[in-house]
């Protein structure tokens, strides 16, 4: 809980600092245009990929749980990616684009599901 609170406070402060520094380098107008451009581009990309994922989910064979979990994981991380890309900021854009790309998204999905699997197995051990 403390980690969440620390992130909740520190990320906006870091974003504001980056806005000011980038604004000093390229100017405030270009900084604002860059923020708007990444939000629009991110929204467009996420919408397109999200619709593709929904089509995959509709045509998915429910009998294959691994494929179902991967498709659902992709959908969840596409939504998270969209939220991060639409949120103004350079750090949020960075992580939003990381989650958008298939290679890094698959790595994150495997990591998260391995953590879930390990935490469930530790419940049985105790």
pTM listed for this prediction = 0.76
Query: For residue 124, is pLDDT > 50?
Result: no
CB–CB of 97/20 below 8 Å? Answer: no
Q: How far apart (Å, rounded) are the C-alpha atoms in residues 2 and 11?
A: 14
C-alpha 85: how far from chain center: 8
Residue 84: name the closest of 72, 94, 76 by CA: 94
Q: What is the pLDDT of residues 64-121, one digit of tens each?
A: 777 777 788 888 888 888 889 888 899 999 999 888 888 988 888 788 778 777 665 4
Q: Which pLDDT tens digit goes with each residue over 2-31?
A: 888 888 899 899 999 999 999 999 999 999
């Amino acid at each position: 809980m403390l980690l969440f609170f620390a992130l909740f406070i520190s990320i906006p402060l870091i974003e504001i600092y980056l806005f000011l520094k980038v604004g000093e380098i390229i100017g405030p107008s270009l900084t604002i245009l860059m923020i708007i451009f990444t939000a629009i581009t991110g929204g467009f990309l996420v919408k397109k990929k999200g619709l593709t994922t929904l089509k995959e989910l509709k045509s998915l064979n429910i009998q294959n749980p691994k494929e179902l979990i991967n498709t659902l994981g992709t959908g969840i991380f596409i939504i998270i990616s969209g939220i991060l890309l639409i949120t103004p900021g350079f750090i949020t854009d960075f992580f939003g684009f990381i989650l958008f790309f298939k290679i890094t998204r698959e790595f994150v999905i495997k990591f998260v599901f391995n953590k879930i699997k390990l935490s469930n197995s530790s419940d049985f051990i105790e």
